[in-house]
Structure 1
């Protein structure tokens, strides 16, 4: 087993791995350095919100931190409110509390067991992997460990093409919505707010700003102008294991065939959601069957549709979105952002129509970029990831989906696999595709802990 281990990242994936490692009670004491990067340990961006308007998009019963303890989160929530049910969609703030509590418990037990655990609120400047171990550099300090795991989550968002420097410098164009929401204050002015993107991040922004800014008008722009789908009020389960569908998809790994098969299966089902959900355990293996050209075709033509049906809103959140539209406060619009400039104290946007290619213009007081996860290692400004890529220690996924790696989480470079450098979560999206939600993260954490602690 590895004796000296480093985890880099302060979010839920890092917390899940840390807790899995310490839950095992290994025979030999561990020396574990957890570099949280200054974030609140365990919460990260995903669960750092303090607003009760921001709900989980997975039911409480499916959100345990541990693969081996399926009721973990539900038990935690019910200790504070016995009326909570496993089918409820609970605030992400509460889930962040749960993660923090589990990490605190794991750290206390680990120290009692003689493990040397250091929680370091620093960003790592560089990582140098070698065949015998990994060197970690932060500031003037170097440390040598047996294994390192990158649990970095989504990379910092980058401005879209066409956004001028003046627009960025004005502070009216927001690239990082979560930091913005954390500092937003009530405002009664009749503001015009434009959101670029219509996924779950956009929904969270709309929920918060519509309450904080009661007189604001919102326009949300995306390629197809559609909100994410919603869960049903009552939980549903597949009537079968969809084995015939899975087998048919394996026999023909191309996107056009898969779309046809999924449409046929959905048409034959009483609820299309059960068809989508039945694919979840098989998605990584199906993804690996796709040639690079088919993966690229999926990202160009089908990704938007998949994200809509796969990552769904809680029913009460959908009701809030529809209410904003009925009240005339939210307009959804199809289009692609071409340019953003500053003009007369406002932001001036040029939007290209997907129907005929014509360009129309509009002005806004605030523009918020809500296009979802950034996983493009090739263009990131993240200091550590840039260092790893620049020095050739990792190979970027050619489609911008994190780093090349193995299904076990080992990172690769120049076609070779590092024996002691791992990743968990978002950086593995090019390898696994499904690698961002807690059900997948906790299974990765469990498997990775087994590997790290193997004799």
Structure 2
């Protein structure tokens, strides 16, 4: 169907040398974490019989790691069961089969280490590349800019050179956390200030008897506490957040999800959706069914329910219901939850609501003020607040460049990138581009549920089918145009 806000991909010819032969059709993927790796994998899979070139730009040492899976601590576990984490939606047993073949833990209802999952994604990409003719190029570089080219396509400028691409997929994942503040002021750069909870080596380098404040109480903070307290028995951790709530836990065995009733069509407000969930949880309780069956049973509905809500209702959901949903939806693996509970029982881990109220730099240590008036001298304050969705504050070079050029804009809720539900980026002018797409977490404002692998792999598969058809058709038109000269 014609979309008046859509910029079609223009047919183009490109010189690749003195022969004036057309270059191979090329898709560049900016970011090589889970989102970028799954996108590359599906492009290779879909384009098996074409001459398509896939270029994956990743500044880290290898694809598939990103923030989520770069950890070296094997106690950091996935929070989704192995059976649900296949990189290929049409082959749900693919990850379990890989685990059995490689000697990794293969329990379908278990929870793999994050580092093991990174190895799986890397193997998946390498195998697909080998089986489809070696058409993947991994460029170890940071992309600084993506600029439109005359005649169509983009010049992708990285720290190692330029790549000309017919289409670009932005797969940079979650943006870094916002800088911590206390009393209205940003925390200074200091030895005690750890701006990233993902820096496992920095956590491990803290004193063996360190007292540490973790700002945030989500899954990122849980992983940081697992490392800090698991490495050294004399350490203590204070976890602070606005809500003072931890994620809830998975049970060792999954609950049935077939029991849940569909959400009524007339439920089109945030309060109505919340009331439906509460009613289903109460119905489950009366029947002896776990509340988790309600949350998990609604997973297939979540994006459709979000799309039902208008802008004001989405804002109301974020203000009044989002945290309740998140602690129930994004749960801890059973073993992780048991470890955290034991640390709390022994007093080595405390959880407080309200966050930081003040900091006083003491040089090697810091005195922090906590809600309720308590003050502590601690060895470190660690930022565990999770990604900052504010595109206008983003410092990632490629995001800043596209934003400043007007090709990238924040979605109306400030949760990510303004785009269509299929990932086509909407620029400041309101036009959606067929050849500039976003996958994964940056779609959150449009889809809400877009940060977990089951959703990302579906996006990657859908995007791959459409992009391959469009890019290869564009290349064919270019060849015909040259032949007519």
Q: TM-score normalised to the size of structure 2?
A: 0.86
Gaps of 5+ in 1: 354-358
Superposition deviation, residue 256 in structure 1 = 1.9
Asked if residue 451 in structure 1 is aligned to residue 466 in structure 2, the reply is: yes
* Match in the other structure for 1:389: 403
* Paired positions, count: 442
Map Cα deviations across residues 84-124 of structure 1 (whole Å, 9 max, x no partner): 32111121111111111111112222335xx3x32100111
Which residue of 399, 411, 421 corresponds with 1:407? 421
Superposition deviation, residue 364 in structure 1 = 1.6
Asked if residue 157 in structure 1 is aligned to residue 177 in structure 2, the reply is: yes
Map Cα deviations across residues 291-343 of structure 1 (whole Å, 9 max, x no partner): 22222222222221111000001111111011101111011111132333313
* Match in the other structure for 2:456: 441
CA contact (8 A) 1:347 1:363 kept: yes
Superposition deviation, residue 427 in structure 1 = 0.8
Asked if residue 289 in structure 1 is aligned to residue 308 in structure 2, the reply is: yes
CA RMSD of aligned residues (A): 2.2
Asked if residue 105 in structure 1 is aligned to residue 127 in structure 2, the reply is: yes
* Match in the other structure for 2:111: 89
Aligned to 1:177, the other structure's residue is in SS state coil
Aligned to 1:125, the other structure's residue is in SS state strand
Distance 1:140-1:238 versus aligned 2 partners, 3 A rule:
closer
Distance 1:340 1:284 in 2: 40
Distance 2:213 2:314 in 1: 31
Distance 1:32 1:234 in 2: 40
CA contact (8 A) 2:179 2:186 kept: no
Tell me which moved more, 430-439 or 169-178: 169-178
CA contact (8 A) 1:188 1:214 kept: no
CA contact (8 A) 2:146 2:402 kept: yes
CA contact (8 A) 2:180 2:187 kept: no
Distance 1:7-1:187 versus aligned 2 partners, 3 A rule:
closer
CA contact (8 A) 1:163 1:341 kept: no
Distance 2:360 2:140 in 1: 38
Distance 1:104 1:82 in 2: 18
Gaps of 5+ in 2: 1-8, 10-23, 474-485
Aligned to 2:455, the other structure's residue is in SS state helix
Distance 1:206 1:287 in 2: 33
Superposition deviation, residue 398 in structure 1 = 3.1
Distance 1:362 1:300 in 2: 31
Distance 1:183 1:219 in 2: 17
Aligned to 2:100, the other structure's residue is in SS state helix
CA contact (8 A) 1:77 1:94 kept: no
Superposed, which structure 2 residues align to 1:234-249 within 5 Å?
234-243=253-262, 246-247=263-264
Map Cα deviations across residues 223-263 of structure 1 (whole Å, 9 max, x no partner): 222211101111112233522xx22xx42322222222211
Superposition deviation, residue 83 in structure 1 = 7.1
Distance 1:7-1:173 versus aligned 2 partners, 3 A rule:
same
* Match in the other structure for 1:264: 279
Q: TM-score normalised to the size of structure 1?
A: 0.91
Distance 1:388-1:187 versus aligned 2 partners, 3 A rule:
closer
Asked if residue 54 in structure 1 is aligned to residue 69 in structure 2, the reply is: no
* Match in the other structure for 1:421: 436
Superposition deviation, residue 45 in structure 1 = 1.5
Distance 1:88 1:106 in 2: 26
Superposed, which structure 2 residues align to 1:355-394 within 5 Å?
359-394=373-408
Asked if residue 232 in structure 1 is aligned to residue 251 in structure 2, the reply is: yes
Distance 1:336 1:348 in 2: 14
Tell me which moved more, 100-109 or 317-326: 100-109
Distance 1:192 1:335 in 2: 19
Determine which structure has more spread, i.e. the larger CA radius of gyration: 2
* Match in the other structure for 1:356: none
Distance 1:40-1:173 versus aligned 2 partners, 3 A rule:
same
Distance 1:37-1:139 versus aligned 2 partners, 3 A rule:
closer
* Match in the other structure for 1:132: 152
Distance 1:190-1:82 versus aligned 2 partners, 3 A rule:
closer
Aligned to 1:299, the other structure's residue is in SS state helix
Distance 1:443-1:83 versus aligned 2 partners, 3 A rule:
closer
